[in-house]
Amino acid sequence: MQAISLFRKTSHQESGFYALFLTNRIQMLYYMIVMPSALVQPYMLLAIVAMGIASQFCLYMLSKWFVTPYPAQGYQGFERLFGKTGIKILALVSLPLLLLKFSFISVSYADIMQKFVFPSMDREWHIVFPFILSCYLALFGMENMVRFVTVVFFGTIWIFFLYIPFFSVQSNSIHDLYPLIPIGPEPFAWKSLLLVFSSLSGPEFLIAISYWLNPQRKMLKYLTIANAISVGEYLFISIASLLFYGSKYLPTIKYPNVEMGRYLQSPIFERVDIILISAYMFSFLYSIALFVLMIYGASRLLGKTKTSTTRIGLIVSGCVAMAVTIPISKWFWEPGLEQAVWLDLQMWAGSATYLLFPLLIWIAIKRKARTTS
Amino acid sequence: MTTISIEALKQRLALMEDAEVIVRETADGLRLTFIYLGSLIDQERLNESILEPLVRSFQNSVEKSLTTAKISSLSNLEQAFQYLMKGSVLIHDSSSGRWNAIMLPNSLGRSIETSETETIMFGPKDSFSELLEQNILLIRRRLPLTALKTERFSVGSLTQTTVVLMYIDGLINPEFVEVAKSKLSSIDFDMFLDSSHVAAFMEDHYHSIFPQYLQTDRPDSCAYALGIGKLVILVNNTPFALIAPITLFHLFQSPEDYINRWLVASFLRPLRYLSFLLSITLIPLYVALTTHHYQMLPLQILYVIIESRSKLPLSPFWEALIILVTLEIIKEASLRMPTKTSQNLGVIGGIVIGQAAVAAGFASKVLIVLAGISAISTFLVPNYLVTKSSLLLQFMFLILASYLGVPGILLGLVGMLAHLNGLTSLNQPYLAPVSPFYWRDWVDLFVRGPLHAMRNRPEALRPLNKYRMNRRSK
Amino acid sequence: MKCIFRTTIVLLSTSMIMLVCGCDLLPENNMIEEITPIIFWSVQGGGEEDGKITISTLVPPLIKEKKRVLSLKVSLLNEGNKGFNLTYYNELKAGQIRLLFVDEAYAKRGLTRLINTVLTDPNISQRLYLVITKGNFNEFLAKHLGETDNIDYYLYRMFKHYEKKKQGEITVVNLHQFMKMLYSQVSDPQLPVFRAEGEQFLYEGTAFFDRDSMVTEIRGKDDQIIQLLYRDRFVRYLVLPDLAVTLGHIRARTRKKLTPDLSSLSIEIDVKGRIDELNSLARIEDNFQYAALTRKIERYLEENVIRLLSQMQKLQIDPLQIGELTAKPFSKPITRATWDRHWSTMKINVKVRLHLEPLTKVK
Would B191 be classed as within a structural domain? yes
> Is B312 at the interface with chain C, CB within 8 A?
yes
> Is B414 at the interface with chain A, CB within 8 A?
yes
Residues B81 and B151 in one domain: no
Q: How far apart are CA B219 and CA B232, in angstroms?
A: 10
Residues B282 and B407 in one domain: yes
Would B396 be classed as within a structural domain? yes
Tens-digit pLDDT profile for residues A141-164: 888 898 899 999 999 999 889 899
Residues B348 and B217 in one domain: no
CATH code: domain of residue A110: 1.20.1740.10
Q: How far apart are CA C30 and CA B361, in angstroms?
A: 21
Answer whether C32 sits within 8 Å of B316, measured CB to CB: yes
Per-residue pLDDT band for C362 (boundaries 50, 70, 90) equals low
Confidence at residue B272, expressed as pLDDT on a 0 to 100 scale: 92
Answer whether C96 sits within 8 Å of B295, measured CB to CB: yes
Mark which residues 280-309 of C lie under 8 Å from A by CB: none
Mutation to test the B interface, candidates A112, A131, A269, most B Cβ within 10 Å: A269
Greater pLDDT, B80 or C8: B80
Q: For chain C, give the mean pLDDT.
A: 84
Tens-digit pLDDT profile for residues A22-34: 999 988 887 667 7
Question: What percent of chain C shows pLDDT beyond 70?
Answer: 90
Answer whether C31 sits within 8 Å of B305, measured CB to CB: no
Give the number of beta-carbon pairs within 8 Å between B and C. Answer: 56
Tens-digit pLDDT profile for residues C323-352: 888 888 777 778 888 888 888 888 999 999
Concatenating the DSSP letter of every residue in B195-235 gives HHHHHHHH-S-TTSSS-SSEEE--HHHHHHHHHTT-EEEEE
Say if residue C244's pLDDT is above 90.
no
Residue C28, min C-alpha distance to chain B (Å): 9
Average the pLDDT over C43-48 and give the result: 75
Q: How far apart are CA A219 and CA A204, in angstroms?
A: 14
Amino acid making up residue A306: K
Say if residue B332's pLDDT is above 90.
no
Average the pLDDT over B443-470 and give the result: 88
Q: Both ends of chain C: CA-CA distance in Å?
A: 100
Average the pLDDT over C153-166 and give the result: 86
Per the structure, the count of domains in chain B is 3
Answer whether C21 sits within 8 Å of A120, measured CB to CB: no
Would B84 be classed as within a structural domain? yes
Q: How far apart are CA A144 and CA A137, in angstroms?
A: 9
Per-residue pLDDT band for C227 (boundaries 50, 70, 90) equals confident
Confidence at residue C49, expressed as pLDDT on a 0 to 100 scale: 65
Say if residue B263's pLDDT is above 90.
yes
> Is C327 at the interface with chain A, CB within 8 A?
yes
Residues B150 and B224 in one domain: yes
Q: For chain A, give the mean pLDDT.
A: 85
Out of B298, B406, B418, closest to residue A274 by CB: B406
Would B472 be classed as within a structural domain? no
Residues B421 and B275 in one domain: yes
Report the SS3 class of residue A188: coil
> Beta partners for B103?
B88
Say if residue A228's pLDDT is above 90.
yes
Would A6 be classed as within a structural domain? no
> Beta partners for C255?
C268
Concatenating the DSSP letter of every residue in C46-64 gives --STT--EEEEEEESTTSS
Concatenating the DSSP letter of every residue in C156-189 gives HHHHHHHHHTTBSSS---BHHHHHHHHHSSS---
Domain with CATH 3.30.300.210 in chain C: 228-363
Crossing angle of helices A272-302/A17-27, nearest 10°? 110
Q: How far apart are CA A162 and CA A260, in angstroms?
A: 10
Domain boundary among B185, B219, B246: B246
Out of C26, C39, C96, closest to residue B294 by CB: C96
Would B344 be classed as within a structural domain? yes
The answer to whether the CB of A358 falls within 8 A of the CB of C52 is: no
Tens-digit pLDDT profile for residues B47-61: 888 888 887 777 777
Residue C62, min C-alpha distance to chain B (Å): 5
Q: Which residues contact B90 (CB under 8 A, 6 or more apart)?
A: B9, B34, B35, B36, B74, B80, B83, B84, B99, B100, B101
> Is A122 at the interface with chain C, CB within 8 A?
yes
Question: What percent of chain B shows pLDDT beyond 90?
Answer: 34
Show residues of chain B in contact with C32, CB under 8 Å: 289-291, 294, 305-306, 309, 316
Residues B227 and B278 in one domain: no
Show residues of chain A in contact with B409, CB under 8 Å: 278
Concatenating the DSSP letter of every residue in A49-113 gives HHHHHHHHHHHHHHHHHHHSSTGGGTHHHHHHHHHHHHHHHHHHHHHHHHHHHHHHHHHHHHHHH
> Is B410 at the interface with chain A, CB within 8 A?
yes
> Is B147 at the interface with chain A, CB within 8 A?
no
Would B303 be classed as within a structural domain? yes
Report the SS3 class of residue B452: helix
Say if residue C282's pLDDT is above 70.
no
Say if residue A3's pLDDT is above 50.
no
The answer to whether the CB of B167 falls within 8 A of the CB of B457 is: no
Say if residue B14's pLDDT is above 70.
yes
Out of B297, B410, B429, closest to residue A281 by CB: B410
Answer whether A154 sits within 8 Å of B434, measured CB to CB: yes
Tens-digit pLDDT profile for residues C47-87: 666 678 888 888 888 788 888 888 888 888 888 888 888 88
The residue segments making up the domain with residue B242 are 132-246
Say if residue A356's pLDDT is above 50.
yes
Query: Which of B246, B156, B189, B235 lies closest to B458 in space, CA to CA?
Result: B246
Show residues of chain C in contact with B299, CB under 8 Å: 39, 62, 96, 98, 153, 156
Say if residue A295's pLDDT is above 60.
yes
Report the SS3 class of residue A155: helix
The answer to whether the CB of A155 falls within 8 A of the CB of A282 is: yes
Residue B371, min C-alpha distance to chain C (Å): 19
Say if residue B471's pLDDT is above 80.
no
Residues B332 and B267 in one domain: yes
Say if residue A116's pLDDT is above 60.
yes
Handedness of CA A263, A266, A271, A275 (dihedral sign): negative
Domain C228-363 CATH superfamily: Nutrient germinant receptor protein C, domain 3 (3.30.300.210)
Say if residue B3's pLDDT is above 70.
yes
> Is A83 at the interface with chain C, CB within 8 A?
no
Greater pLDDT, B16 or C10: B16
Out of A117, A150, A275, closest to residue B434 by CB: A150
Say if residue B1's pLDDT is above 60.
no
Tens-digit pLDDT profile for residues B66-116: 776 678 888 888 888 888 888 888 888 877 888 888 888 887 888 888 888
Greater pLDDT, A41 or B225: B225
CA distances from C251 to A13, B116, C229 (A): 60, 62, 11
Average the pLDDT over C265-279 and give the result: 86
Residue A84, min C-alpha distance to chain B (Å): 33
Mark which residues 265-294 of B lie under 8 Å from A by CB: 292-293
Answer whether C26 sits within 8 Å of B292, measured CB to CB: yes
Show residues of chain C in contact with A116, CB under 8 Å: 122
Tens-digit pLDDT profile for residues C96-130: 899 999 999 888 888 888 888 888 888 888 889 99
The residue segments making up the domain with residue A37 are 17-361
ipTM of the complex, rounded to two decimals: 0.92
Q: For chain B, give the mean pLDDT.
A: 87
Query: Which of B171, B169, B168 lies closest to B464 in space, CA to CA?
Result: B171
Residues B235 and B296 in one domain: no
Residue C114, min C-alpha distance to chain A (Å): 17
Residue B275, min C-alpha distance to chain A (Å): 17
The answer to whether the CB of B92 falls within 8 A of the CB of B73 is: no
